[in-house]
Structure 1
């Protein structure tokens, strides 16, 4: 998820993009407010710059239209949106991560975009699934980002790990990844660790990548019946629990930790780290050499569903203009420009992600592009369930018990199924 710490430098900034125009909407004078839409989002520095440029371009192409762009910190984003929705003061358009979108669409709070998406067939099927509820689209899949594994090449070489995979075809199996981790553990001093996983706090659903890799599911096909307590769930939990018992990860890096994976990697506390592509720019200036390799595979490859959609609120006074804006932002040209500037990934099949001129560390981005191909529509359906937010609460509690309190695999899976059943009632 492109959520964590992307707005620490943008504390409650409110920006209004100026008015220009050439075609589309008419306005001016007393009618000017009628052609204004509000757009609320969080943003990293590069995202903010891109949003500003694209909003100005939209205004230039739509005579009389104004985009009132508001940048807020992520940790305030949805509490603000919820309060505004309850009082009828919500923005016309806002940004939402795929995991939270289902909460709003299932409650009738978003504009149904059925038949209103430009080039609907050009979006990746998995990403269309991410913005859909009951078969209807309630937003545009604006971008995605996925996790891959970053490797400190000097520390890896010192441990005898020199054969690094570059694609899904030669990705490490779980057994091979365990062998690499054991080599690093033997080579590193006690205060350093082989790797860290980015499942802290709001990233807890990233544990599901391991479940999917094992061939498991969190929910059955009906979308409500728990499916974690299974042989696949047992395999995934036992393997990830071993990260702590084998001292492969810092003991303070569990799901409730406030020590994030990219920070620990940047400090060289760990030799490897599972990190989303959106954090590549933050790690570009480290004083050591690193590269990216694919996530390990078991029965299949899998990764997390990062990224965000743009949605219009159901009660917007400007449904036509709001729809025009989200379509513009998700157009091939605008999406390519945004992704190139932010090291994020496109959601359209007519954009060749491998040909994007990424602004930072373009040498490692092909691994993330390749990793994104492991996302399956069935994964997306579960990761965008309207119950996911509540499921995640139980997931965090039970994984924390398994990882830091030695709760057994059987007890953890049983408790997880019970909490999921309660969440989906």
Structure 2
């Protein structure tokens, strides 16, 4: 489960890999060629066990209510976009597919997706969280529905914090009382002083394609990656503050030295093994952690500096531009993004809704509902300008450069000045600015 769910947060980097590979045999195709049966949709997705069960239930409900047939094709994430790219090229793509918000910009900018402008009224658009509707839009045009989202918060091992003399009865629980960077550093310093060398205060979940989660720290500092025209903004005092603070994680031995953007061990694994006392982790991993963890743990809001911020996880559902029946495809997307369907899906999977009517405690989460208000509250820190940057068609290429440059800064001694200058140049090249 963790592998497929975690992959929803790669934020576009999979596309670069996918474009270099050929299609895999055995991957079911689509109905985009125009030869599909009447009232039949093809829907391709990857899914965890809980997600697949939820998709199957909702597909059955849609079929019963609409009289249509939906052919659900669940595939490994590793194959997903390689094959979608090949099928789009051959005109045999599925009518509907799932895509993370980072990858969506690549497809929408190439006119490969169905324009949904005529299928949603202004009132229906306003029902979505503005940042999430921004996530499915390109040049102001919606090319999908924001099906769900996922954000990171800070998980803590209560026993390990108590052993370090930290009062666990006064831990922050909301954005209003979230730790500042300075307060978070004090906690990390206290933990480091009390722990054996083989344990660490915390770990950040920016490994293996998650490098864009570093931008949470940039946004917290009040900085930006680029402006709306793609002009780099990262080489700035705010960029320097974010880089210096995150570099201190390694200089102060607050994080495992191998847990860099190119590391191969995920943050949730290090937390479950009690190698770290705290971990930045997305809500989609709560079910796994609840099953495996044999210690008492809870969730806290991420630290904040000039503002609160977090990562943009989750996925949209999109229809291809040459779907056999665009109206039916749009009807299915509208159904999946309805209050009842979204509440059911998110509640079963510990993922977060994108409709404002489902904010707060409106969704009944199946596992550890006591933790989910922290993630729900954390999601409110995502601002539309953050989303616009994270869904840029250039973000995949930028992410590759970020992985290289942050690795050089964190473990190879590259200066803040050189790192920011290199990132600035990479953004300019990727956006053509």
Please indicate, yes or no, whether the TM-score normalized by the shorter chain is above 0.5. Answer: yes
Deviation at residue 355 of structure 1 after TM alignment: 2.8
8 Å Cα contact 1:173/1:296 also seen in 2: yes
How far apart, in 2, do the equivalents of 1:33 and 1:171 lie? 54
Deviation at residue 14 of structure 1 after TM alignment: 8.0
Q: Unmatched 5+ residue regions in structure 2?
A: 8-24, 30-34
The DSSP-based 3-state class of the residue aligned with 2:38 is helix
Q: Which residue of the other structure, out of 148, 154, 158, is the alignment partner of 2:153? A: 148
Q: Which residue of 2 aligns with 1:77?
A: 80
Deviation at residue 218 of structure 1 after TM alignment: 0.2
The DSSP-based 3-state class of the residue aligned with 1:69 is strand
Matches within 5 A, 1:315-354: 315-354=322-361
Deviation at residue 343 of structure 1 after TM alignment: 0.3
How far apart, in 1, do the equivalents of 2:210 and 2:284 lie? 14
Q: Which residue of the other structure, out of 354, 361, 373, is the alignment partner of 2:368? A: 361
How far apart, in 1, do the equivalents of 2:75 and 2:420 lie? 38
8 Å Cα contact 2:4/2:47 also seen in 1: no
Q: Which residue of 2 aligns with 1:66?
A: 69
How far apart, in 2, do the equivalents of 1:7 and 1:216 lie? 26
Alignment deviations for residues 33-56 of structure 1 (CA, whole Å, 9 cap, x no partner): 221111111101100000000000
Matches within 5 A, 1:201-350: 201-222=208-229, 224-285=230-291, 286-350=293-357
8 Å Cα contact 2:27/2:83 also seen in 1: no
Given the two structures, how large is their TM-score scaled by the length of structure 1?
0.93
The DSSP-based 3-state class of the residue aligned with 2:277 is strand
Q: Which residue of the other structure, out of 37, 52, 58, is the alignment partner of 2:56? A: 52
The DSSP-based 3-state class of the residue aligned with 1:250 is coil
Given the two structures, how large is their TM-score scaled by the length of structure 2?
0.91
Deviation at residue 216 of structure 1 after TM alignment: 0.2
Q: Which residue of 2 aligns with 1:20?
A: none
8 Å Cα contact 1:14/1:69 also seen in 2: no
Deviation at residue 309 of structure 1 after TM alignment: 0.3
How far apart, in 1, do the equivalents of 2:114 and 2:243 lie? 39
How far apart, in 1, do the equivalents of 2:304 and 2:148 lie? 24
Q: Which residue of 2 aligns with 1:36?
A: 40
How far apart, in 2, do the equivalents of 1:86 and 1:5 lie? 25
How far apart, in 1, do the equivalents of 2:27 and 2:283 lie? 27
- How many corresponding residue pairs? 406
Alpha-carbon spacing, 1:412–1:386, altered in 2? closer, same or farther (3 Å): same
Deviation at residue 317 of structure 1 after TM alignment: 1.1
Deviation at residue 221 of structure 1 after TM alignment: 3.1
8 Å Cα contact 1:7/1:74 also seen in 2: no
How far apart, in 2, do the equivalents of 1:237 and 1:45 lie? 37
Q: Unmatched 5+ residue regions in structure 1?
A: 17-30
Q: Which residue of the other structure, out of 101, 105, 109, is the alignment partner of 2:112? A: 109
Alpha-carbon spacing, 1:293–1:347, altered in 2? closer, same or farther (3 Å): same
How far apart, in 2, do the equivalents of 1:353 and 1:88 lie? 42
